[in-house]
Amino acid sequence: MGKLIQNGIRIDGRKFDELRPVKIEVGVLKNADGSAYIEFGNNKIVVAVYGPKEVHPKHMEMPDKATLRCRYHMSPFSVEERKNPAPSRREIEISKVTREALEPALILEDYPRTAIDIYVEVLQSDGGSRCAGITAAAVALADAGIGMRDMVCACAAGKVDDTIVLDISDVEDKEGQADMPVAYLPNLKQISLMQLDGKLTAEEYEECLNFALKGCLQVYEIQKETLQKRYFSEVSKSE
């Protein structure tokens, strides 16, 4: 593989601090309590939220708050070579970090002895799918009317050809030197997820985190716009 950055331009034509195109739709599944669809670069992900509902099995029930469950799953056709449909270790790990990234934003104590299930289905994968999944899941939770302290927006930054860049693509993820996915609660100014795969100096780490947070705030604006459009269209229909 040749250089991924030439004359200040990345392999897909973006600048260092440029997001891939992001499109979010809300209320895409009739049978879910809340749902969202996101295109983040070439990622295509659909999220369904069910609940609050009765907990099965009963021993998972918590007396003081809802049980939040999350399943991140990549469809067999979502990557170049067919993926085994059984959950991989990576999918189990991403399911866990997605739940942990969303949990601080949710007012789970309003729904004791119930379950809220989140299904994140990756239809097409293109690097940064965990951030795209978290972003869409937060919109789907809002669509389901679950009480939230804040929205959760997510974006990754990374290091490619010794340069810190925003929102790394699949090629940059595979060929680059570091990847830092971050989830952020923008009004509470809290980070609910930060992972790092690769090596960064202290200065690079700070720059990478700042890039990721700026990306999160850009994603948050798209989330807000999507939900406002949905809400205003619902209001105008009811009038």
Is the per-residue pLDDT at 209 higher than 90? yes
57 upstream amide cis, omega within 30 of 0: yes
Is the per-residue pLDDT at 1 higher than 50? no
pTM listed for this prediction:
0.94
What distances in angstroms separate CA 129 from CA 43, 54, 56, 78, 81, one per listed residue? Answer: 6, 30, 29, 11, 17
User: What SS3 string covers 190-206?
Assistant: EEEEECCEECCCHHHHH
Domains of the chain: 15-238 (3.30.230.70)
- Which of 54-58, 75-79, 193-197 tops mean pLDDT? 193-197
**Contact present, 45 and 136 (Cβ < 8 Å):** yes
Is the per-residue pLDDT at 190 higher than 90? yes
Which band of pLDDT confidence, cut at 50, 70 and 90, is reported for residue 109? Answer: very high
